[in-house]
Structure 1
Amino acid sequence: MTSHMPYFRVRSRDSSMEIGQAGLQRRSALFHLVGHFAVMVVLMYAGMFALDPLYDLLAGFAGVSDPWSRLPVLSNFAMALNMTIPMTLYMICKRHSWGAIAEMSAAMFLPAVLTSGPFLVGSMTAGTMMTLSHAAMIPLMGLAAILRFTIMRSGARRVK
């Protein structure tokens, strides 16, 4: 009769330190992701506040006095563009891949695309379209960032 002894793994002091360092690296990477995301959100709104007056000016030159109420669909896309420009420039400066930049830009424009249809068929007001577009950008950007973070943390090859 064989005795079945439970197997206990004995960790050396060095291996527990490695585990602790891995946890710190993971936490540090997560803090970096959150900080990076916060900077991008601030840049989005800075772009909106800096570039929306330029959109108003260009629309005025084209003969449209209040583009936000007279051209709501175009204004929705202009707002997405105005928020995407500084975010894209920041990502280029941070040496992000073009794939990551395209994903984040898509997260910015997708809400405008999805809310334009209901507005055009009359089931949504212009204000609701703009509000939903703004509200959906942040979670979609977060999703894109988390997916990219997960891919990079798994050791997958960088997408160019």
Structure 2
Amino acid sequence: MTTTLKFAGHYLEMVIAMFVGMFALAPLWSMAVPSLSEHPDAAAMVMATNMSIGMALWMRVRKHGWAHIGEMCAWMVAPFVVLLVPYWLGLIGGDTLMTAGHVLMFPAMLIPMLRHRQGNVH
């Protein structure tokens, strides 16, 4: 298997783990905080956290170290954090916050993955 194909497979594993985290944890939040969907900023952060939890658990299964996991989670959440400012200023709506955050999350994940790729740091 080529290095690029292996890297792409690892990225795909991470994305799948993120979706598992998002779908598995969302019902818990809906029960705990029924009005969450009325607050797009909180809902976006909860969803980013759910996705980070799924990805972090899979990274632990794959024997990644806690520092690398923390770095990946920070990069995944960063787009949402940055977008909170224009949301709170009324410059973007909740749908844009959620959509743009998700779109930006995927390339943001590549930053630590590419950084650790050469050293294969776990």
2:26 maps to 1:52: yes
Q: Specify the alignment match of 2:81 in structure 1.
A: 113
Could you list the runs of 5+ residues in structure 1 that have no partner in the other structure?
Answer: 1-26
- TM-score, normalised with respect to structure 2: 0.92
8 A Cα contact 2:19 2:54, kept in partner: no
Which AA in structure 2 matches 1:105?
A: C
Higher relative contact order (CA 8 A, sep 6+): 2
**Larger helix share, 1 or 2:** 2
> Which whole-Å CA distance do the structure 2 matches of 1:112 and 1:86 have between them?
17
Aligned pair count reads 122
**The structure with more radius of gyration:** 1
User: Identity of aligned pairs, percent?
Assistant: 32
Q: Which amino acid aligns with 1:40?
A: M
Compare 94-103 and 73-82 and name the one that shifted more: 94-103
In the alignment, residue 73 of structure 1 is paired with which amino acid?
Answer: D
Q: Indicate which of 120, 123, 148 corresponds to 2:91.
A: 123
Structure 1 residue identity aligned to 2:111: L
Aligned equivalent of 1:85, options 53, 62, 72: 53
Q: Distance in 2 between matches of 1:84 and 1:130?
A: 15
Runs of 4+ with deviation above 4 angstroms: none
The structure 2 residue matched to 1:142, chosen from 107, 110, 117, is: 110
Query: C-alpha offsets along residues 17-36 of structure 1, whole Å, 9 cap, x if unaligned?
Result: xxxxxxxxxx6332221101
Cα offset, 1:115, TM superposition:
0.7
Structure 2: which 5+ runs fail to align? none
The root-mean-square deviation of aligned C-alpha atoms, in Å, is 1.5
TM-score when normalising by structure 1: 0.71
